[in-house]
Structure 1
Amino acid sequence: MTQESYILLRDFCQGHCLDEKFIYELQEVELVRIEKVGEAPAIPPDELQVLERMVRLHRDLDIGPQGLRAVQQLLDRMEHLQQEILELRRKVRRYE
């Protein structure tokens, strides 16, 4: 990926009125990856959707980083189960 596609951590935090410490806490619980672009910490574009979801949950429901990790694990599990249901429905349709 090109450097231009990365979002500088400073810019993201300013745009969302966040303290950078919160993003580093999310990195500690392995919810987001922060990479260096030059000398500045930056967020890879593929992390942006998850990061924005975590920020919304944090603000709306006042959930801390550990709670957000649990929520993300549940969302991942739910997505996996939905995919499994779709696959099973396809198999059942073949035998109808």
Structure 2
Amino acid sequence: MAQQELIVIETICTHYEIEVSFVDALSNLGLIEIRTIEQTRFIPEEKVADLEKMIRIHQDLQVNPEGIDVIFNLLRKVDSLQNELADTKSRLRRYKLENQ
């Protein structure tokens, strides 16, 4: 298994000028994965982009963590529906080609 890069939560909070409690709230809602190694808490590097989106939503739009949870759930549903629509269009094209 490849080693995963981890970033210390306090480093992220300092860089983005956010409170650790904000990251904790996101974690409690299941939006951010926090790993603890030897009493130091980390976020996987590949999850930082999602955290950055959440920070922008929070800071720019003044949305609380619960609101961010709702937004991300809606975005996942939109993505799922777009994938379903693309699949349906693809099947329809195949059907049209087979029946020409």
When the two structures are superposed, what TM-score results if normalisation uses the length of structure 2?
0.88
Aligned residue in 1 for 2:63? 63
Aligned residue in 2 for 1:2? 3
Write out aligned runs for 1:1-96 (5 A): 1-2=2-3, 5-96=5-96
**AA aligned opposite 1:44:** P
**AA aligned opposite 2:73:** Q
Greater CA radius of gyration, 1 or 2?
Answer: 2
When the two structures are superposed, what TM-score results if normalisation uses the length of structure 1?
0.91
Q: Root-mean-square deviation (CA), in Å?
A: 1.3
**AA aligned opposite 1:12:** I
- Cα deviations across residues 17-57 of structure 1 (Å, max 9, x unaligned)? 11111000111111111111332100012322221111111
**AA aligned opposite 2:3:** T
Show structure 1 runs of 4+ deviating over 3 A: none
